[in-house]
Structure 1
């Protein structure tokens, strides 16, 4: 485990030590007075990976917003057939969060076509030389975030891809900062308080990268072999993110580099606008989008477990602050911070469900297929509820999809539900255990920020009101994903009341349906008792 020193400010037994501390504090204060995040990014050229993803999109917007004189933002874009890179960036910059920028500012976002895991990203010599000459800051956020990704794919993307960014960083003529967006879950194989250090992996990242390039190693590679390698990691994602951190610790010592570890990323709190959720299918946001329409109605996990959620803009703010910090302070070894909420503003799963249900009641969408409501269930109760009230309705909806060619463009409702179920079961690991994340390094760096930066680039989750936050995210899903009105009107409230009545009438219809069948099969007396028992069980379920 790599130990990262922390700056102390406590008392000392000697006068010389006190004087040294006083001078050190004074130097920090002097630097604070003249150094701000916007000033750091002025005239800097940035290289961004993962720029077309949810986090990456907000990162690009926030970079443009830091300083009017920010330099070029080079965005790594994969070369896909039928997709022009310039067109992809053009579509990216047409999103609502970029509307406040003029053409001159947007022209600073430049795509560079390449593959993350290839040597030099597969760049031409001229593009590579341009980057080496001009780039000052690297933000590496690209990754395969699927928990179920094959191990070889995860290694090539998450580990080898990180190595390519390290290689570029070391070639740059003027490297000011390198920031890696990791995940708080990369150490989820540990228990107790997880501190802001790099936890040593049992496997060497260099050996794993070599293994990924050897076709023979992957012949007859079974799930059992994968489990033998990742061991107590819950999936290939957390395993490879931990390997990437080990790689950075080995390669970036003495360089201005930092790791930011966010937890579960939801929509934005305030910047660039309240409740921005992108395409709402990243991570747990996909659950929120389904919940709003009454499609996803249950969660698995312990009621008292902490669900560690963080607003997207807090993650980006912390990343920008870390760029400023390592770029303006002498960094001896890799800096690591958590961007989490559990230790300073805990939210339990029980509270999460209550807030979600209250928020959608206050701000219902234009339409929904079922009354939006979520509840914690576990074990057989969760599985049975999911089968009866998620899978069976999805199968019923699939029939007209198949017969008449309506519905979702690439998959049936059942296929979407099956994929969702697989994803949520993988996520259950993180909702069934209490992960605690130290916040000391983050707090130490917050204390060094200029007062104006503390306000604008806030990532102190203790200041976040979860009820208000989920209202913003819910309205964001309505507005940006489902293209509905942002304002909640009296019509929305009337629609909710009417549907609420229909919802409870549905219980009556359900009872009459069950009673009709039972009475037909067993007679009125036995049928009534049996139907009441079945109906009561289903209502409880």
Structure 2
């Protein structure tokens, strides 16, 4: 069992161009020039963000070095095959074989000391790696506390220990989350907020089997306190760990909000497997499966394009790698302060977008509406769960990530996830962008355009269009082109949608008329029908 301690005993690395004069000269480098001949180590590289990061790194400079991607060892799964399949995705089509060969898998476990690498591999990496991007995490809000600590906190400690062994560390960038401070109110600054618990004590607790005997949800809630879930709690701890461990080193923390598809790079509307975060809701929405959201109409839903998060990460690698800094730099990658989008506007945009770009098939006319409290719960059970129990929904219409689930099981999974997300849609979180915009202003004009992460310029209607078409194209393997057939298909369901209301009334009236007679049955049927329409 590994004992977690503060790592003062690990010698700090020599930082490439550590001399102050060299750092000042390096400021004139463009982002691409900074990455030239650098070798990069990535955790979380097989995930949605990680995949786009790999592509973006390949795109920075033709002479970028090796990109080492940490992958977990799985039985009967060759890590080279995993990376090979990853590189077959459409976003890598523009690269030739020699360029793609720069992406090299290294098998290891995130929470193990030195990732469990053998000595020869560890020596190779410590001598060659210059830049670390740490984005691996368990992003499930419902993850058990011990699991979340081991992945999000201990995993971060392992990457820090690794960074301190590197012969030439140029930059270390940690992908955190804007929600790590969601237990705070008011304007959240680009600073690390002190955690209630000591991160080292939490890591020791995760390694102590006796601490988890009869560990209940009540005990978990006592520990995470006013954090909404174990995800935000452990992410906040990881940031505190970085402040403690990375002083004087070229380190940065990037905090994205709700990550959607890409705005522009490497292509419009890339959504990966559309299973991460809120993208899963969009995938279910366009098939007419998810038809409601919970939250205040006036609340801001802080979404950000995936490529903006990657751009911010690349810029922060360049920024801390070309300057001498005393503590890790922290920036937000958010939109709410400069280009707010309310839940009401978001729902209207989605409904308008799917009407313009309907998919090849759907269960029912896609349409979402905001509901709260008992209204939300009643609608969900009447119009999500009940139809799933009665009708068989073909697997090709269900999101691909759930091929072995019945429609009913999928609805239950969605409801659990939606309720966990409701916390963030029911409150107005505000995130300062002062430091992020200041850092972006230091870029040259060409880099400002290529590596933009200022969401002021985002047209949310156009962005949702791109994401929706991306879900159709990359997730459901449908055509990206909307044809006249699609519009006729939509009109057919438009008619059926309103015809459905008539059939519901006829069914209710028929039952009540048989039970109560015309005089009593008709007004009661009308009242029930009006209530269902309102619902």
TM bracket, shorter-chain basis: over 0.9
SS at match of 1:160: helix
Give the drift of 1:349. 0.4
Distance in 1 between the 2:420 and 2:354 partners?
A: 26
CA contact (8 A) 2:363 2:393 kept: no
- 1:5 is aligned to none
1:108 to 99, 102, 107: 102
Give the drift of 1:226. 0.3
Is 2:357 the counterpart of 1:387?
no
Distance in 2 between the 1:254 and 1:160 partners?
A: 21
Poorly superposed stretches of 4+, deviation over 2 Å: 30-34, 397-401, 407-410
- 1:10 is aligned to none
SS at match of 1:82: coil
1:181 to 175, 180, 187: 175
Structure 2 runs not aligned, ≥5 long: 1-20, 396-400
Distance in 2 between the 1:376 and 1:121 partners?
A: 45
Give the drift of 1:410. 2.2
Give the drift of 1:451. 0.9
Task: Give matches, 1:497-512, under 5 Å.
Answer: 497-512=491-506
Is 2:527 the counterpart of 1:533?
yes
Distance in 2 between the 1:506 and 1:415 partners?
A: 25
Give the drift of 1:374. 0.4
Task: Give matches, 1:28-177, under 5 Å.
Answer: 34-177=28-171
SS at match of 2:51: helix
SS at match of 1:501: helix
Distance in 2 between the 1:42 and 1:301 partners?
A: 46
The Cα offsets for residues 322-362 of structure 1, whole Å up to 9 and x where unpaired, read as: 00000001111110000000000000000000100010111
The Cα offsets for residues 355-376 of structure 1, whole Å up to 9 and x where unpaired, read as: 0001011111111111000000
1:233 to 212, 227, 230: 227
SS at match of 2:105: strand
The Cα offsets for residues 39-97 of structure 1, whole Å up to 9 and x where unpaired, read as: 00000000000000000000000001111100000000000112111111011001000
SS at match of 2:133: strand
Give the drift of 1:37. 0.5
- 1:193 is aligned to 187
The Cα offsets for residues 169-215 of structure 1, whole Å up to 9 and x where unpaired, read as: 00000000000000000000000000000000010000000000000
| Residues 131 and 389 of structure 1, relative CA distance in 2, 3 Å threshold | same
SS at match of 1:508: helix
2:471 to 477, 487, 511: 477
SS at match of 1:34: coil
| Residues 477 and 326 of structure 1, relative CA distance in 2, 3 Å threshold | same
- 1:307 is aligned to 301
Is 2:343 the counterpart of 1:356?
no
**Superposition RMSD in Å:** 1.6
- 2:13 is aligned to none
Give the drift of 1:498. 1.5
SS at match of 1:260: strand
- 2:460 is aligned to 466
CA contact (8 A) 1:32 1:448 kept: no
Task: Give matches, 1:142-541, under 5 Å.
Answer: 142-397=136-391, 409-541=403-535
Distance in 2 between the 1:168 and 1:451 partners?
A: 35
Distance in 2 between the 1:479 and 1:320 partners?
A: 27
SS at match of 2:391: helix
Give the drift of 1:33. 8.0
Distance in 2 between the 1:370 and 1:274 partners?
A: 27
TM-score by structure 1 length?
A: 0.92
SS at match of 1:198: coil
CA contact (8 A) 1:147 1:235 kept: yes
SS at match of 1:139: strand
CA contact (8 A) 1:475 1:486 kept: yes
Give the drift of 1:34. 3.2
Give the drift of 1:409. 3.5
TM-score by structure 2 length?
A: 0.93
| Residues 220 and 90 of structure 1, relative CA distance in 2, 3 Å threshold | same
CA contact (8 A) 1:263 1:310 kept: yes
SS at match of 1:64: helix
- 1:3 is aligned to none
CA contact (8 A) 1:32 1:449 kept: no
- 1:404 is aligned to none
The Cα offsets for residues 496-530 of structure 1, whole Å up to 9 and x where unpaired, read as: 11210111111111111111111111112211111
